[in-house]
Amino acid sequence: MTSQYSSTAEIQKLDAAHYLHPFTDHSALAKKGARVIVKGQGVYIWDSEGNKIFDAMSGLWCVNVGYGRKELADAAYAQMLQLPFYNSFFQTTTEPGVRLAALLTEIAPPQFKHVFFSGSGSEGNDTIVRLVRRYWDLQGQPERNVIISRWNGYHGSTMAGASLGGMKGMHQQGGLPIPGIVHIDQPYWFEHGRTQYPNLSKEQYGIEAASWLEKKILELGPEKVAAFIGEPVQGAGGVIIPPSTYWPEIQRICDKYGILLISDEVICGFGRLGTWWGCEKFGFRPDLMTFAKGVSSGYVPLGGVMIGDRVADVLIKKGGEFTHGYTYSGHPVAAAVAIANIKIIREEKLVEKVATETGPYLAKVFEALKEHPLVGDAETCGLVGALILVKNKSPIQLFDEKLEVGMVCRGHCFSNGLIMRAVGDRMIIAPPLVTTLKQIDELAALIRKCLDLTWTELNNRGWLT
């Protein structure tokens, strides 16, 4: 362990005294003490007490190439010595930024020939709001400024990101959403479609869920609607995988009303679903895409927006100066690391592996987990997956939300060397794209063990009857 502190207790004490964590009740954490993560290798991380943990969340949906990749460290080191920073304002540029922009347009769908860099996904989505409104201003339609998004979508934590997102708990703090952002319901078959549309197949429900966009457009007036934004698969919302019919229908509706279509690829981009981009998996053609996380496998902060020709042509030809940018837009060290990261994804054929080997294998393993008495449904898409914990399987009966059964399960994962997240009673994973078939078996065994422990605890508490 390479730490300047002598013990876990000391780090925890300093942490509690000074460090406000994201999305955390500080007082509650200070009482418990944070787990201190000290090392990572492949799909594993270690805490300061020496526990080895299978990180089935890839850090936070980002360490796509796994931990401990020397190539990325070397790229950062070399670039830091050569030129640690220079900006790309005032008629200057740096080679890593240029090369990364070119590389991204090579791997993106053909309509994308331009990139705007940010430092994170949230900043990328702030850029999206600015870009979308600038585009319609330049088109002589400034009143077209409403962006439609979805409840339970996640688009970041800045003012614009949190506003685009549909997390009601976030809106309650800070007077959100900002004006001009409205939400429609998410395409959530298991919770909503299955119960409220019992006569529709999942595919028919996908069309129905997409029709809510058209209803909202007509309610607002199409001349007011600038864009629609969504994640191909909702990540932070609990790995909500839409029916296959959903996105093509959303595309049709956006085309019909001339509305810009935005794919937030912060989680789905860079191979997560077995395609380079989530929009490729679901068959739609966005005008703008937000990216972050997997672009650098989380080794350094980096994000941005891929700008499709429809927007770029107007912005570049008619736009003059776009009065927007960040100090770290195109940061040379971040760009150098991203280039090395994309090289690994390509050379190790990680996207193809997810599509043909590990993704299908994870799907099989999750299908088998459906036999567990607590698992009401199991879904995967590439290397994301969700297990839904239920009280009863036939007929399906959900747990009382207040029991926070997902957190009980997460507690067992935490104590048994597995990082798996709970979103309500959905237990979700997004393991690194380098996870091997053998490691998927190991993951399945860990999950099964934690489900068994959860079942025993719930049974002892009398929550299963």
Site residues (vs ligand PXG, CB under 6 A)? 60, 120-122, 125, 154-156, 161, 231, 235-236, 264, 266-267, 292, 303
Q: Provide, rounded to whole angstroms, the least separation between the CB of residue 106 and ligand PXG.
A: 23
Closer residue to ligand PXG in complex, CB, 239/434: 239
Q: State the nearest-atom distance from the C-beta of 153 to ligand PXG, in Å.
A: 8
| Distance of closest approach, residue 132 Cβ to ligand PXG, in angstroms | 16
| DSSP type of residue 42 | B
- The dihedral sign for the CA sequence 315, 321, 327, 333: positive
Using CA atoms, how far apart are residues 356 and 360, in angstroms rounded to an integer?
A: 6
| DSSP SS3 for 152 | coil
Closest approach of ligand PXG to the CB of residue 256, in Å? 26
Q: Report the residue number, 126 or 214, with the smaller CB distance to ligand PXG.
A: 126
Task: Give the three-class secondary structure for 181.
Answer: strand
227: DSSP letter: E
* CA proximity to 269, closest of 34, 104, 37: 104
Give, for 117, the enclosing helix (H) or strand (E). strand 112-118
- State the DSSP code for 69: -
Pick 96 or 156: Cβ nearer ligand PXG: 156
Least Cβ distance, residue 428 to ligand PXG (angstroms): 8
Rounded to whole angstroms, the Cα distance separating 59 from 122 reads 17
> Which of 208/431 has CB closer to ligand PXG?
431
Token pair listed for 226: 């600038």
- State which residue, 156 or 359, has the beta carbon closest to ligand PXG: 156
Sorted by sequence, the CB contacts under 8 Å of residue 437 that are 6+ apart come out as 357, 358, 361
| 279 to 216, 243, 395: CA distances (angstroms) | 22, 14, 35
Taking the C-alpha atoms of residue 209 and residue 214, their distance in angstroms, rounded to an integer, is 10
End-to-end CA distance of the chain: 46
Least Å distance between CB 54 and ligand PXG? 17
Nearer to ligand PXG by C-beta: 266 or 344?
266
Q: What's the min distance (Å) between Cβ of 137 and ligand PXG?
A: 25
Q: Which residue is nearest to ligand PXG (CB)?
A: 121
Task: Fill in the amino acid letter for 281.
Answer: K
> Which of 229/450 has CB closer to ligand PXG?
229
Closest contact distance (angstroms) between CB of 237 and ligand PXG is 8
> Are 303 and 118 contacting, i.e. CB atoms less than 8 angstroms apart?
yes
Tell me whether residue 97 or residue 124 sits nearer to ligand PXG (CB atom): 124
Smallest gap from Cβ 83 to ligand PXG, in A, equals 24
Strand, helix or coil for residue 48:
coil
CA 304 – CA 291 distance, rounded (Å): 5
Alpha helices, DSSP H, located in 117-201: 121-138, 159-164, 168-171, 194-196
Cβ proximity to ligand PXG: between 372 and 421 the closer is 421
Are 432 and 65 in contact, with CB atoms under 8 Å apart? Answer: yes
